[in-house]
Amino acid sequence: MRHGKKLKKLGVYSGLRTMMLRNLATSLVEKGRIETTITRAKSVRRVAEKLVTAAKEDTLVSRRKLHAYLLTPEAVDAAFKMAKEKYSTRPGGYTRIIKAGYRRGDAAELAILEFVEK
């Protein structure tokens, strides 16, 4: 039974899954929009929401938390700037997933993951 197991394994071992989610979250914060599969988008969405919530209050603890997870310092600065400008009064729901058809090679269902605008 899968009681209490909310994490999708995404077909890879745990270290690779963690790094993949970090890469996708960094790309999302830097670019504001990424295209990936539906399952990966749903997994990254959980991470991205928590990162934006942490970035809403600019403290040393939240800065260290984002530096520990995101891969580039530019992404950390972009996250704090975006959280302060766009989401300071928003209580949650910072991202949206839009279905984008099927990938040509393996027919995987694609999605566009992006931050919502104010």
* Residue 96: per-residue pLDDT: 97
- In angstroms, the CA 27 to CA 115 distance is 12
* Residue 60: per-residue pLDDT: 97
Domain containing 103 equals: 35-115
- In angstroms, the CA 93 to CA 53 distance is 10
The total of other beta-carbon atoms located within 10 Å of residue 58's CB is 12
* Residue 117: per-residue pLDDT: 86
Question: Which regions in the chain score pLDDT beneath 70?
Answer: 118
Supply the CATH number for residue 65's domain: 3.90.1030.10
Q: What is the pTM of this model?
A: 0.92
Residue 9 lies in a domain: no
* Residue 118: per-residue pLDDT: 63
Number of domains, the chain: 1
User: Order of strands across the sheet with 109-115?
Assistant: 33-37, 109-115, 95-102
Residue 40 lies in a domain: yes
Residue 53 lies in a domain: yes
- In angstroms, the CA 71 to CA 39 distance is 22
